[in-house]
Structure 1
Amino acid sequence: MPYLTSAIIGAALCCFTYLGLRARFGGGSLDDYVTARNSQTASTLGLSFLASGMGAWILFAPPEIGAFVGPVALLGYALGSALPFIVLGLYGPKIRQALPEGRSIAEFAQACYGTGVRRFVALISVAYMGCFLAAELTAIGAITALLSDVPPALVIISVALTTLLYTVLGGLRASLATDRWQAWLLLALLLAVASVTLWRLPAMPNNAALPSLPMGSSLSVALTLVIAVTAANLFHQGYWQRVWAAKDSASLGKGAWLGGGMTVLVVMVIGGVGMMAAMSGASLGDPPMPFFALLSGAPIWITLPALVLAVTLVTSSVDTLQNGIASLWASGDDAGALNKARWITVALMVPVIVIALQGLSVLRLFLIADLLCAAIVVPVLLGLWRRMTPLAAVSGGLAGFVGAVLPGWVSQGSVMAGMTAASFPGSIPTLGPFVGALLLSTAVSVLMACLRGRPAHNVESRR
């Protein structure tokens, strides 16, 4: 059976490679490689937002949140997953108008604040996307080990190299083309696998009740997830590329709402499987993984589609991240700049693959990366405000880091305790650091901007 499983996974990866290379850009310019500028319709963007935002994480996190925290927190997670698309759909037209030749969040930061802030934003974005890449490849290795006898390292390396092949050669157009097919495939597979998983549930007991924490705790977890996921994904360069890839602002807005709506639906459905598992009294595994616990001992005709689903989820997010990283370092329009973007992508994948092969837990790293993004997201997005200055943005970002430590510092009485709380010991998401980071960064940015007046680097003043 491992040979059959390997053959089917290999066939899926070959199909994605063919689709990606068939759509590769023809112009040979760096701009087309990283933006596919003004070429994508609303429906294509909607499917791309869905596919690029999904990943193997949806088979782990939403079912666990649904099973242990309940529907309120699950709804927060779903909204947090979709909100970055909506923010870019609403905010994107202004970005396109102010920076019509832009390519990345880093270029937006440079236009607003200068080169120094650009480098800082690019570093945060690459760190976040590197964590995301490592998490996705680690997850496909874990899923492979759970559902088959195929060596996990083989699938990790195959997914990484396959996606690297068509993104390095084909650029953003290759990623967008595969996203369209991957979105439809993952929707069909999710529906089929979720249906079969629910069919395998034990009979529901008479006293079954929805899992839930006290309402205050549920709301706290929900708000934490909304802030963390939204702030971090606003530094996902793959989403920013689609701002300029849209045919026009109307296509961007419609595509963002379409992708966001489908994302909410998918997260709620897969999280609902976890809730149903908990209500039925089924064993959720140790450590608990409700979705996969329900597949334990299932025949191959069930586990194989689940494994193909996982591979589809991972490839759809990994190829977006790879091209997004390339676009952050892209500058100029000559052949040398294009080759530089390609080789940087290849080089950054080496440590990512090495980390993924270790099978480490990256949840705590994800939370820390989310918090870093939450500390600076408001100062960056305020760049279109005419009064913002580089000093206000930097001061707001630094204040955000202080704000992340402040709740633990105040409650426990020491700076070290605050820093420990902000590093999420036990990998448990807590609301205090995120709220502190957002509130203090916003307050200091606005105060400094009001005190300093109109900037020299503001993007509006450079038009």
Structure 2
Amino acid sequence: MPYLTSAVLGAALCCFAFLGLRARFGGGSLDDYVTARNSQTASTLGLSFLASGMGAWILFAPPEIGAFVGPVALLGYAFGSALPFIVLGLYGPKIRQALPEGRSIAEFAEACYGKNVRRFVAMVSVAYMGCFLAAELTAIGAITALLSDVPPAVVIIGVALTTLVYTVMGGLRASLATDRWQAWLLLALLLAVASVTLWRLPSMPSDAALPSLPIGSSLSVALTLVIAVTAANLFHQGYWQRVWAAQDDQSLGRGAWLGGGMTILVVMVIGGVGMMAAMSGVSLGEPPMPFFALLSDAPIWITLPSLVLAVTLVTSSVDTLQNGIASLWASGDRPDALTKARWLTVAIMVPVIVIALQGLSVLRLFLIADLLCAAIVVPVLLGLWQRMTPMAAIGGGLAGLVGAVLPGWLSQGSVSAGVIAATFPGSVPTLGPFVGALLLSTAVSMIIAGANKRRVLAR
């Protein structure tokens, strides 16, 4: 029944647009548009961290990890998804103190190291968030095609345009307002859909066992996922905006722990559905999609809430990413700065929508973007250390890139083999490049910084 499905999804998107537009900012300044400075309570921040961090990816990745790798790797993935919130909750008060009028990770980099490092950090952050946007819109198209007869392009464009309307008009306040409602809705829908999905499980065979790899392999995958997801999400500007949106340091800390705790719970529950599907012996599909394998041939009263859940997940992450990208490039307090920020939000969505309509796999791009973030995340976060200098940050970042290539280079005997290994052929996450990037970037940054005299943070 494509008309009923279209009507329900359209109604959900209209509700989100109404909530976002109702909460649009009234200050008229660029600062309020991109930070909603000192306005959000701990509970609002916690729900916002949950909603903005969740996306359609949780219906694909955690169930697949649970089904094929097992509970150890799934736990690593859950902690990796929540750890960026915790890091910002602990590190955020120092950032607020050092940069009380800050707006973005790029401005933090500029205050610590200057404009050149700011541009580099901004480009990395935009590249990562652009991949995230394309992945989310691609995912909602795939889910729509799987569970309904509605053309995927209609839903992709519908989600992109709806979020643009209230994000462009309302800025961060609109995103935060919708996050609060979307968080409660996705928790309710996730509980309902997961319950019904498990109810449809066939009887467990007598020899059913938890899926798992050897403990060494499971721990390797878990550690890879923790590093990759944490490093990449620390370049998610939407999370950084919430550092300055918090009412005070205590609200930021409590909100971060609340959002992190709920994120771990959600990822473990949805990943557990994947494990149960694998244990039951049901066909997981090709390519494997354990969560949706249990929804094949399901009646519309099951598939329709699943689609609404998917749209809620995508919308909650897309609006955060849209406003986050605008805040990275918008600067200054001139009258035209706000207009430029709005047009930038629109402009960035054009190539993203075009890519999403192709139905491409973006997993390999995600892994490459994750590795790039892992190579420079430590030099950036060390910016509050007074011995750090632009040379130490740039040297550490370049060393991180070399460290990413080094494991494959040493194991296979050539630089080209190391470069290929660092681009994850077959879209398989491997630990070596991530560990190499983190260790070498940290070591070189600290060695260069240790040789310098104390530096005063630019204000």
Same structural fold, with TM-score higher than 0.5 when normalized by the shorter chain: yes
1:288 & 1:335 partners in 2: Cα distance? 51
The alignment status of 1:296 with 2:309, answered yes or no, reads no
Match of 2:149 in 1: 149
Superposed, 1:20-39 pairs within 5 Å as 20-39=20-39
Conserved 8 A contact 1:389-1:454:
no
How far residue 106 of structure 1 moved from its aligned partner, in angstroms, is 0.1
Q: CA deviation at 1:124?
A: 0.1
Map of 1:395 onto structure 2: 395
Indicate yes or no: 2:93 matched with 1:93.
yes
Cα deviation, 1:299-350, whole Å, max 9, x if unaligned, reads 0000000000000000000000000000001111232000011111111100
Distance in 2 between residues matched to 1:27 and 1:231, nearest whole Å: 34
- Offset at residue 453 of structure 1 (A): 2.2
Using the alignment, how far apart are the partners of 2:393 and 2:201 within structure 1? Answer: 52
Matched with 1:185 is: 185
CA distance in structure 2 between the aligned counterparts of 1:62 and 1:82, rounded to whole angstroms: 13
What amino acid is aligned across from residue 89 of structure 1 in structure 2?
G
CA distance in 2, matches of 1:285, 1:331: 48
Give runs of aligned pairs for residues 258-277 of structure 1, distance below 5 A.
258-277=258-277
Other-structure match for 2:321 = 321
Deviation at 1:205, TM superposition (A): 1.2
Displacement of 1:61 after TM fit?
0.2
Q: Answer yes or no: is 1:161 the counterpart of 2:167.
A: no
Distance 2:334 2:177 in 1: 25
Structure 1: stretches of 5+ with no match in the other structure: none
Residue type of the partner of 1:454? R
Amino-acid identity (%): 88
Corresponding residue number in structure 2 for 1:114: 114
| Structure-2 residue corresponding to 1:406 | 406
Deviates more, 1:186-195 or 1:204-213: 204-213
CA distance in 1, matches of 2:124, 2:163: 23
Q: Secondary structure at the match of 1:231?
A: helix
SS at match of 1:452: coil
Deviations 1:96-116 (A, max 9, x none): 000000000000000000000
Whole-angstrom CA distance in 2 between matches of 1:286 and 1:365: 21
Instruction: Map 1:78-89 to 2 at 5 A.
Output: 78-89=78-89
Aligned to 1:377: 377
Structure 2 counterparts to residues 238-387 of structure 1, below 5 A: 238-387=238-387
Deviations 1:224-258 (A, max 9, x none): 00000000000000000000000000000000000
Paired amino acid for 2:173: R
SS of 2:364 mapped into structure 1: helix
AA aligned opposite 1:33: Y
Aligned equivalent of 2:228: 228
Native 8 Å contact 1:405 1:433 kept in 2: yes
Counterpart of 2:126 in structure 1: which amino acid?
Answer: V
Structure 2 residue ranges without an equivalent (≥5)? none
CA distance in 2, matches of 1:98, 1:39: 19
1:310 and 1:186 map into 2 onto residues whose CA distance is: 9
Amino acid at match of 2:352: V
Per-residue Cα deviation, 1:114-143 (whole angstroms, up to 9, x for no partner): 000000000000000000000000000000
Partner of 2:65: 65
Residue in 1 that maps onto 2:135: 135
Moved over 6 A (4+): none
| Map 1:34-53 → 2, pairs under 5 A | 34-53=34-53
TM-score (norm 1): 0.99
- Pairwise CA RMSD of aligned residues? 0.5
In 2, distance between residues paired with 1:90 and 1:96?
A: 11
Which amino acid in the other structure matches residue 193 of structure 2? V
Give the structure 1 partner of residue 4 of structure 2: 4
Shift of 1:204: 0.8
1:129 and 1:431 mapped to 2: Cα distance?
A: 22
CA contact (8 A) 1:29 1:334 kept: no
User: CA–CA distance in 1 between the matches of 2:368 and 2:254?
Assistant: 32
Distance in structure 2 (CA, Å) of the matches to 1:195 and 1:242: 33
Measured in 2, the distance between the counterparts of 1:10 and 1:333 equals 37
Letter in 1 for 2:435: V
**Distance in structure 2 (CA, Å) of the matches to 1:436 and 1:442:** 10
Distance 1:53 1:335 in 2: 32
Aligned residues, how many?
A: 459
Q: Paired residue for 2:431?
A: 431
Q: Which amino acid aligns with 2:298?
A: A
- How far, CA to CA, are the matches of 1:356 and 1:334 in structure 2? 34
**How far off its partner does 1:451 sit?**
1.0
Secondary structure of the residue aligned to 1:335 is coil
- Whichever residue aligns with residue 448 of structure 2, its letter is M
In 1, the alpha carbon distance for the partners of 2:375 and 2:167 equals 31
Residue aligning to 1:196: 196
1:202 CA drift (Å): 0.5
In the alignment, the residues of structure 2 paired with residue 346 and residue 6 of structure 1 have an alpha-carbon distance, to the nearest angstrom, of 24
> Per-residue deviation at 1:206?
1.4
CA distance in 1, matches of 2:335, 2:328: 17
Match of 1:18 in 2: 18
1:206 paired residue number: 206
